[in-house]
């Protein structure tokens, strides 16, 4: 179902200027009923100016009157070519004010641990701009000395599934471009689920490291020792003087 332009502002106008129920407004603008109630209470959309859907060719007065008379009636959006594709519009992710100060730390984490991600991917994940990402990459950001890399998932700036999808996309692009990856880079490009399911790499216990070399060289060492013993015994089997005299007699 198509949604009206400036849905939240339209909801503000409908709350302020009509007696339509919260559920009807929520269904029309694509918001939750509790959000509409929050708008009425002043807890949500504070400072948002109402957007008149009648003046902007999104609703007719007749539709509003029908909805006011029947709480079961669903408002129907008036066809407006300008509204087509509005829900597909792309732009930077909205980040709450309380979390915006954490974005540089999240960017630093992504740059450090996932250098394969493009600036556009990072901007989409945490809702920032390319100049900010570039300044952190080049360590020219005004607050770089006070930054600490923090996982954006832990900060609540993006979902783990979104981060995994971005990493996998970067891996596919890198493979398509023919760039080689070492083992460390491959491990970084694994999703959380793949990392947990992967078998642990077999490692040789430290206590027995080198024994395989000893077993191969031990036999050679024994042979060398035997040869040394034989050479030592030969010194004690020197010919005697009597043997020389017997050889000299005619």
What mean pLDDT, rounded, does the chain reach? 74
DSSP string, 157-168: SS-HHHHHHHHH
Q: What is the pLDDT of residue 13?
A: 92
- 168-174 mean pLDDT: 86
Q: SS3 for 90?
A: coil
When pLDDT is cut at 50, 70 and 90, the band that residue 112 belongs to is very high
- pLDDT for 31-71, tens place per residue? 898 988 888 888 877 778 888 888 888 888 998 999 899 98
- Distance separating alpha carbons of residues 51 and 7, to the nearest angstrom: 8
Q: 191 and 164 in contact (C-beta within 8 Å)? A: yes
When pLDDT is cut at 50, 70 and 90, the band that residue 140 belongs to is very high
Q: What are the domain boundaries of the chain?
A: 7-88, 97-197
Q: If we measure between CA atoms, which residue out of 57, 161, 150, 70 comes closest to residue 110?
A: 150
- 166-171 mean pLDDT: 88
Q: What is the pLDDT of residue 146?
A: 92
Question: In terms of pLDDT, which residue wins out, 9 or 95?
Answer: 9
Q: If we measure between CA atoms, which residue out of 131, 137, 90 comes closest to residue 110?
A: 137
Per-range mean pLDDT, top range of 20-29, 208-217, 228-237: 20-29
Q: What is the pLDDT of residue 221?
A: 54
């Amino acid at each position: 179902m198509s949604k009206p332009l400036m849905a939240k502002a339209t909801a503000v106008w409908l709350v302020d200027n009509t007696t339509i129920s919260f559920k009807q407004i929520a269904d029309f603008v694509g918001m939750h009923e509790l959000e509409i109630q929050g708008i009425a209470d002043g807890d949500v959309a504070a400072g948002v100016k109402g957007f008149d859907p009648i003046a902007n060719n999104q609703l007719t007065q007749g539709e509003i009157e029908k909805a006011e008379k029947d709480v079961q009636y669903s408002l129907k959006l008036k066809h407006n070519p300008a509204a087509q594709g509005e829900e597909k519009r792309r732009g930077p992710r909205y980040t709450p004010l309380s979390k915006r100060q954490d974005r540089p730390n999240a960017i630093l984490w992504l740059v450090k641990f996932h250098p394969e991600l493009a600036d556009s991917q990072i901007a989409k994940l945490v809702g920032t701009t390319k100049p900010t990402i570039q300044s952190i990459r080049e360590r020219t950001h005004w607050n770089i000395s006070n930054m600490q890399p923090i996982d954006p998932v832990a900060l609540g700036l993006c979902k783990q599934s979104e981060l995994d999808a971005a990493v996998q996309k970067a891996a596919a692009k890198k493979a398509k471009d023919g760039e080689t990856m070492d083992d460390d880079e491959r491990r970084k490009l694994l999703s959380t689920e793949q990392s947990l399911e992967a078998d642990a790499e077999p490692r040789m216990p430290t206590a027995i490291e080198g024994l395989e070399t000893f077993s191969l060289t031990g036999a050679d060492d024994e042979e060398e020792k035997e040869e040394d013993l034989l050479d030592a015994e030969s010194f004690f089997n020197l010919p005697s003087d009597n043997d020389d005299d017997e050889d000299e007699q005619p």
